[in-house]
């Protein structure tokens, strides 16, 4: 260990406590994951995937694991106000623990199971053993290992072959602290059987001003012909930290799409890893990040084309204001034999202030023949000719800027297929633009 930080110093506080509901294999897996963290330590700027994200601000804070049982002050209508009401099933988690009184389960088709991970662990833990007892080598960094060590709860979605869930399944992760900094470690699992279809919406919110750390892992497994849409709205407190991994494995002819919108957090890192493991799988990843003030939004992406004739498309857009810092670190690896690969990466950024910063690194590693791969990145400022054009027509200066920024963002918003969610995001983004800091003239 190289860092004597508050976080590491506090590791003993974070050490997983025996949980009577856990089977022996899980207790062992948690202990091993925890030891992995103690042994390997946290990533530094020297780690390729972490070179743009300073962990200092996180590791300096003595976080404690969040216990269950908070959120008494919350009501269902508070959750409605914090997250769009999408109809359908809604699971609410407070500090990573399921809050049944705030959740509701809509009627689901017979082949669908939607519940919380802790209930599955209590009742039929063996269903999860293949996922949760994966060997230590698969913890690719300390935060995923820490999640493995500490996760108690999260969402569990299982669709049997051919099951279609029409209404989106909404997962709301709400954080609050009772004063001292808390780390929550939700672990969610989505298992989409052959030919099944579902849309999952993750919303991460917290009490403004509270200092907490969300360290979330969501795992999605798509079997042959499954179709999963994933949406994520990261609207955490701007004093909070958000570290997340979306880990996706795709079977033959499956289709996965993800749309992420990053607005909140002081430091946020939303990592997506997709394995295209069988022929004909398709993935589309969208991301919008809007850091301002001192916010930092990092988007590491790894897509592995491990089979022929798979398609991957990425479109990420950043709007950076104040001293905001954004990162697009997208890597596509085309493994030998993955012929007929179609991969495209696009990253566009709009800098609104002289102090805002973006690092963009679209990367292709092509180890196969007969592939079609494109990538592109752009960083620009507002078109001042367009601002003048709008003003000359009577649109006030700030409104003209807002209109142009919104036009840049709107492409991403329009790609959100779920209507109530699209309106919700539209409002959040418009509000963000109306309150943007450091407007330059």
Partner 1 sequence: MLRIENLHAKIGDNEILRGVSLELEAGEVHAVMGPNGSGKTTLAQVLAGAEDYDVTGRVLYEGQDLLGLSPEDRAAAGVFLAFQYPVEIPGVGNLYFLRTALNSVRRQRGLDELDAIDFLALAEERMALVEMDQSFMNRSVNEGFSGGEKKRNEIFQMAVLEPKLAILDETDSGLDIDALRIVANGVNALRSPDRAMLVITHYQRLLDYIVPDRVHVMAGGRIVRSGGKDLALELEEHGYIGLEEQAGADRSTPVGATP
List of residues contacting partner 1 (CB under 8 A): 383, 385-386, 388-397, 399-400, 403-404, 406-408, 410-411
Decide whether 9 or 396 has the Cβ nearer to partner 1: 396
The answer to whether residues 293 and 322 touch, using CB atoms and an 8 Å cutoff, is yes
* 296 vs 265: CA distance, rounded Å: 8
Decide whether 310 or 400 has the Cβ nearer to partner 1: 400
- Tell me the HSE value of 271 on the side-chain side, using a 13 A CA sphere: 18
Q: How far is the CB of 391 from partner 1 (least distance, A)?
A: 4
Q: How far is the CB of 250 from partner 1 (least distance, A)?
A: 32
Q: How far is the CB of 390 from partner 1 (least distance, A)?
A: 7
Q: How far is the CB of 79 from partner 1 (least distance, A)?
A: 32
* 121 vs 151: CA distance, rounded Å: 11
Residue 101 DSSP one-character state: G
Segments of 129-281 assigned E as strands: 155-159, 169-175, 182-184, 187-192, 197-206, 212-222, 227-235, 241-250, 255-262, 267-276
Decide whether 197 or 415 has the Cβ nearer to partner 1: 415
3-state secondary structure of 267: strand
Decide whether 373 or 395 has the Cβ nearer to partner 1: 395
**Cα angle vertex 421, ends 420, 427, to 5°?**
95
Backbone angles phi, psi at 21, to 5 degrees: -80, -15
3-state secondary structure of 153: coil
Q: How far is the CB of 399 from partner 1 (least distance, A)?
A: 7
Q: How far is the CB of 1 from partner 1 (least distance, A)?
A: 49
Decide whether 410 or 423 has the Cβ nearer to partner 1: 410
Q: How far is the CB of 406 from partner 1 (least distance, A)?
A: 8
Decide whether 276 or 350 has the Cβ nearer to partner 1: 350
* 430 vs 441: CA distance, rounded Å: 20
Q: Residues for the chain: how many in total?
A: 441
3-state secondary structure of 289: strand
Decide whether 12 or 441 has the Cβ nearer to partner 1: 441
* 75 vs 415: CA distance, rounded Å: 31
Burial of 238 (0-12, 13-18, 19+ CB in 10 A): middle
Strand order in the sheet with 311-320: 97-98, 90-94, 169-175, 197-206, 227-235, 255-262, 282-289, 311-320, 342-351, 372-381
Residues sharing a CB contact under 8 Å with residue 165, sequence separation 6 or more, in sequence order: 88, 108, 109, 112, 114, 159, 196, 197, 198, 199
Decide whether 272 or 352 has the Cβ nearer to partner 1: 352
Decide whether 165 or 404 has the Cβ nearer to partner 1: 404
Q: How far is the CB of 261 from partner 1 (least distance, A)?
A: 17
Decide whether 43 or 402 has the Cβ nearer to partner 1: 402
Q: How far is the CB of 320 from partner 1 (least distance, A)?
A: 18
**Cα angle vertex 319, ends 313, 325, to 5°?**
100
Q: How far is the CB of 412 from partner 1 (least distance, A)?
A: 11
């Amino acid at each position: 260990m190289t860092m004597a930080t508050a976080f590491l110093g506090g590791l003993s506080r974070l050490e997983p406590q025996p949980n009577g509901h856990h089977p022996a294999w899980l207790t062992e897996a948690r202990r091993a994951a925890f030891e992995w963290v103690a042994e390997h330590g946290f990533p530094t700027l020297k780690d390729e995937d972490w070179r743009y994200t300073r962990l200092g601000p996180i590791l300096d804070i003595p976080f404690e694991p969040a216990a269950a049982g908070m959120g008494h002050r919350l009501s269902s209508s508070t959750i409605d106000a914090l997250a769009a009401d999408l109809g359908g099933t809604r699971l609410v988690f407070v500090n990573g623990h399921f809050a049944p009184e705030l959740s509701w389960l809509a009627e689901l088709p017979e082949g669908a199971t939607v519940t919380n991970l802790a209930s599955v662990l209590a009742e039929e833990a063996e269903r999860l053993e293949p996922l949760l007892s994966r060997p230590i080598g698969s913890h690719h960094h300390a935060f995923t290992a820490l999640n493995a060590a500490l996760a108690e709860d999260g969402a569990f979605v299982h669709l049997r072959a051919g099951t279609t869930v029409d209404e989106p399944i909404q997962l709301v992760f709400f954080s609050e602290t009772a004063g001292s900094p808390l780390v929550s470690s939700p672990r969610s699992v989505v298992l989409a059987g052959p030919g099944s279809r579902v849309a999952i919406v993750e919303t991460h919110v917290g009490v403004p001003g509270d200092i907490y750390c969300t360290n979330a892992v969501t795992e999605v497994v798509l079997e042959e012909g499954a179709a999963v849409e994933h949406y994520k709205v990261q609207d955490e407190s701007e004093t909070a930290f958000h570290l997340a991994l979306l880990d996706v494995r795709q079977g033959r002819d499956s289709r996965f799409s993800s749309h992420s919108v990053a607005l909140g957090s002081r430091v946020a890192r939303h990592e997506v890893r997709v394995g295209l493991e069988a022929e004909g799988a398709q993935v589309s990843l969208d991301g919008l990040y809007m850091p301002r003030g001192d916010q930092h939004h990092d988007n590491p992406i790894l897509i592995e084309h491990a089979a022929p004739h798979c398609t991957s498309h990425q479109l990420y857009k950043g709007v950076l204001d104040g001293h905001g810092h954004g990162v697009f670190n997208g890597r596509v690896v085309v493994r030998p034999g993955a012929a007929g690969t179609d991969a495209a990466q696009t990253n566009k950024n709009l800098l609104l202030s002289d102090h805002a910063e973006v690092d963009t690194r679209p990367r292709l590693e092509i180890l196969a023949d007969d592939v079609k791969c494109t990538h592109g990145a752009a960083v620009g400022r507002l078109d001042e000719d367009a601002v003048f054009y709008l003003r000359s027509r009577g649109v006030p200066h700030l409104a003209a800027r807002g209109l142009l920024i919104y036009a840049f963002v709107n492409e991403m918003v329009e790609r959100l297929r779920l209507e109530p969610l699209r309106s919700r995001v539209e409002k959040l983004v418009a509000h963000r633009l109306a309150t943007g800091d450091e407007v330059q003239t």
